[in-house]
Structure 1
Amino acid sequence: MGFLKMPFRLIMLVVLVQLLLLAMSCHRGTSRASTASAAHAQAKPGCLNRCGDVEIPYPFGTEPGCFLNEDFRITCNDTHFNPPKPFLWDSNIDVVNISIDGHLNVMQYIASDCYDRKGNSEPSYDATISLSDFTVSDTGNNLVVIGCDSYAIVSGFLGEDSYESGCRSTCDSLDYVTNGSCVGIGCCQIEIPGGLKELDVEALSYNNHTNVSSFNPCTYAFVVDQSEFHFTSNYLALGGIPDQFPMVLHWEITTNKTCEEEKICGLNASCDEPKDNNNTSSGYHCKCNKGCEGNPYLSDGCQDVNECEDPSLNNCTRTHICDNIPGSYTCRCRKGFHGDGTKDGRGCIPNQNTALKVALGVGISFVFATMIISWLHFLWKRRRYMKLKEKFFEQNGGRILQRELSKLQGQSSEKAKIFTEEEIKRVTNNYANVIGRGGSGDVYKGFLPDRTPVAVKKSNIVDHKKNDEFINELVVVSQINNRNVVRLLGCCLETQVPLLVYEFVGNGTLFEHIHEKDKGKATNNLSWEVRLKIAAETAGALSYLHSETNVPIIHRDVKSANILLDEKYTAKIFDFGASKLVPIDEIIKNTILKGTSGYLDPESCQTSKLTDKSDVYSFGVVLAELLTGEKALMSDGQEERSLAMHFLSSLEQNRLLEILDGRIVNDGNKKQLKEVARLTARCLSVRGKERPTMREVALELKGQYF
């Protein structure tokens, strides 16, 4: 099966290699684009290349000898601006971008005409720009008028002829004004022709804004690059509009001589023929020859492009040899191939001997690549498996467990075995034999390699919110060494849910023997003597937990269902998921209620305080079950009643013999039954201080039994 998957893995490897090559190609393309951009923006050697954020390419410049002529002089103002700002000549025309292709982006001040609420005029301003030999570009500049009682006039010269045009904008209310719409309602725009010089914009009002002064006291007008303008109704308010807007100018080199005579362009560059289209252009532009890039106005600004470095720039096949030549490239085939080496030509065809060698080489390479990929895949799967086990170890509280167990160093307890997931599957025959299901998990029967039966508890914890309970149970049980407590043999933490391995106790629970006749348990074998033995052993185990371990342990869920019986009816306590380690004489306050209804200490329920007397009360309910054969919550078909309260009430009314299990009344010592009943009542006292300790209970039951 692994071999069948090899072609897919090889394809994935090829795809990854191609993606890597593509990324390298893109990187080379980016580098080339960056280099080209830098070359285009080159200033004359020894001259300032930048003013603030704006690059200054030749024929523009900031110092004598750095610009072609006065038309291209840039003033870099670093006195009043930080960072410095470039301006055309000695004007206030703010330059924001210079393009080698003949475009110049500048900022233009706006014209305004404002009035107060009575219609009195305030200072107005016209926007005038004198462009020398530069002109307004034909790439989409618009005259824009903003206002609700407004119109504007733009004038200038188009070649030898004068030009004048205008646009009007009106509105009665802001309700009619739409953001982004400039069609005459609050905003009007018209396209102006390229080639205009000495541009003048005048803002005017029809009625001095008297009807709209509450929301629009001014007329604003300006020429703007239409791609950089987006109308908003905020512009209608006083002071709501910027001081400047961008527009695009056209520049070219004018001369009475030809471009070649003037030697305008550098090496590897040529002149664009002058265009005289409605008097919009009559000068020259330079451009790099095909196969070159850079600044064509510098003597050596256009450099040869190496098309062989970028596959997108050449037409050679993959098996080619690309040779770069000035302004172009050639393709030829490698040794062992013949043809012209081009994609749209004959390409490169392998010679006969070469084809055999290539086939053999490909075959060997494929086998070798298959072996390498298989090995890498194996290592990857192994690493992933190890990482997954580490992840589960962390999720299942492995670090917390290590920390808690380290606190118990030096204490006498058998070391629990750490099982692997594979060992657990072999022990349980892949979880085939379920012997119990509960709220905290499922229990499976299994056998160790020496055929010792075990019970494997698989926790239901998936969201890991109850990790502390699981780790608590593991820590508690690992330090217990008592014949009447189920012994922990080991654990497994490298699975998605944690696992605990216990000794197997195969005769069911005390609850089943007392209450579940329909399940075939040998209920009749629970004579009074056996019941007293079970009670004494359980009390002894709880006494051990309370007073004989290094740190006292409160079980918190003592009940007949948590007492297992072996074939000799020896009692064994289990399920320590809710248990607490409690320092001596300490009372746990504000504890979260744990346990089973019917067995819960009423004092703990009221005070939220946990003591060892909580286990005493729960054990008292178990004693009542042994004496009466009734469940902790009795049901008469309509409602449930507490066995503890029923037992205490019957004892007070001197009706003990009426509530005792008939099977033990006949074979038990009545005096002994009464003594155990009185002990049960003391355990069930509502006030914890009036209850005996588990040690006292164990000694009294042991005395009764022996």
Structure 2
Amino acid sequence: MVVKLLSHVILFTLLLRLLAVASSQKPPIAKPNCQSHCGDIEIPYPFGIGAGCYIDDDWFQIICDNSTGNPTPFLNRTNLEVLEISAEGGTLKVTNPITFSNCSNKPINRQTANLEGSPFAYSTKNVFTAVGCGFMATITSNSNGYSISSGCKSDCDISINKSNGTGHSVCNGVDCCQTAIPSFLSAFNTSFQRDDDKTRSSCNYAFLVDREWFQGYANNLTNISAISDRDNIPVVLEWNMFHSTTEVFGTFLEVNATVWSDDPIRPSCDSYNDNSSVYGSSRLECTCGGGSEGNPYLLDGCQDINECEVGKHSCSEPLVCVNYRAGYGCFYPPKSKSPVKAIIIGIGSGLGFLLLLLGAWWLHKLIKKTKAIKRKKKFFKQNGGILLEQQLAAGEVNVEKIKLFNSQELEMATDHFNIDRILGQGGQGTVYKGMLTDGRIVAVKKSKLVDGGEIAQFINEIVILSQINHRNVVKLLGCCLETEVPLLVYEFIPKGTIYQYLHKENEEFLFTWEMRLRIAAEVAGALSYLHSAAGFPIYHRDIKSTNILLDDKYRAKVADFGTSRSVSIDQTHLTTIVHGTFGYLDPEYFQSSQFTDKSDVYSFGVVLLELLTGEKSVSLTRSPEIRGLVTYFNFTMEENRLFDIIDARVKEEGVTEDILSVANLANRCLDMSGKRRPTMKEVAMELERIQKSVNASNNLQQNYDEVEYVRNEVTGPWDVTSTGSCLAGGTTTSKDSLPLLPY
């Protein structure tokens, strides 16, 4: 265990080292897949070489000229040679021409580049410098509605000889003078005026130059006038991101601010508007935060500086410098420890960390379990659990017959409600085939609930089925209320519905007349039980061929009690919103909204017609006036053509009197007046009578067949044998007696 912990500590240390090496890598300069250098000059974004490598403004395009063999960068549209670009400083150095006056072999009045209309301006890091004797150099600017004039005067008094202490001449007003320039200067002209009283040289020149470069250059010269040997000198430009890229870079700020919001190493971008300046323009300046460096205009362009390594810290002994992301700290060094103590501390730290992980895992499990409990309580209430508890308290639910399943058990049973397990779908939900852990096959109904009314239907089905105990009614095994939609668990009825056998071709199964009659009697018996033999009357309210299932012995099972209602013994009807299936709906109920036990009788009459005729309750293949099966049946009865619509197998196997008896019974069930219809008890008794008649007829036919079999297979041979024996007077064989048989 100790060795394993130590190996984890070593691995963690190595990972930290790798992270430190990765963070020490040089930050990116240009956009990915873009050229970052032209010769020895770095080209940082928003500048770039090639399409897509610079910000969407061709002022920032860099042209890398390779014609001379020495790659040289030029600023697009100004054609100024680029000497240096600082992304974080917002500046770039370019070559700037010197303006000469009265100088041999030099061009006269050459002016600096005009930057008006560009995102660039001359920086105040430059200084206007004039070299010569006895003249005044002046710069004038008329841009953005402002007029500026400034200059300096250079004397020829040789007696004045100032030095920088090294013997080198400096620009102090003698043979050389300097003056500062205003902010945001984008264009100017240089002019010269002679001082006739003091004339020493006819060659004068002036230029705008980088102050730092000039100081370093001048300190290395014995005479500052040697600068006339050059044609160009460095000048510093500032670039203005908001000048012509407002929309583009505004999007840059918005997007990158979101990305950078939680990163301690992120650039700091400031925009400001200086309307009082000569240039009168907005500017954007981005810099990497303290303790970091790089290109602030690129994502991940700023990276941490290890101040402790490069000496950029203020820690003094006995404090030691400790670097961290985007900063550093000064701390007292830890006291030295023996190796044994270090190992003990390491092991203790590892164990502590392990305990912390275990505690966090346990806390996560506890929170998850608490959330699951709250979620289950919420679903229990949402799925009518309180209503079910009220039914339980009132004694309306048989608790012994109902099991509360948990969601995990039913998910496992149905393979997480796999679509391959679907047995059927209806208006109230989807039924899945499942197998419980004890091996029992069940049907799980996943309800579709959207409002309180459907929840009431769901609880109603539990209440109704818990009170029913009949062999021809589907058994409810239990329910689950802790899922998002409630679940009911029934016994599995394997052979499907009678609708499938009546209206879909099935060559493997013959739906005989005797089987149809038995199914009709079983359904009638179940409905008779619901109406009169249960604790109190129950109206099914949705009798149809799809709600009559067949078990493995093809016995009928009445199912789907979602819309069923129980009534008190002295109650004759229910007044409800009309609910039912078109083709089975009692017309009297449809008109009055009063559902009675005779409404179930009407629906059963339609099922009886389906068993007799094999026709659907509603068929679009029939003409509109006889599209409904009841209308079709009444039409054929009136035309005395009943047997035209009777199913071929029924006509082949049934006796005419029995068929007519069932047809007449169906006709009585379908009477437009509910009062004239028989009760389900009377229907069940009539069907039992017809069934007994059919069974007796079948038994008589079977007995007749058996008598014929005995006569032909037993009596005949004995007659032949006895005849042969008598005539032969001895043990004559059957072969010997064959000639006595008639051919």
TM-score (norm 1): 0.49
- Structure number with the higher helix fraction is 2
TM-score (norm 2): 0.46
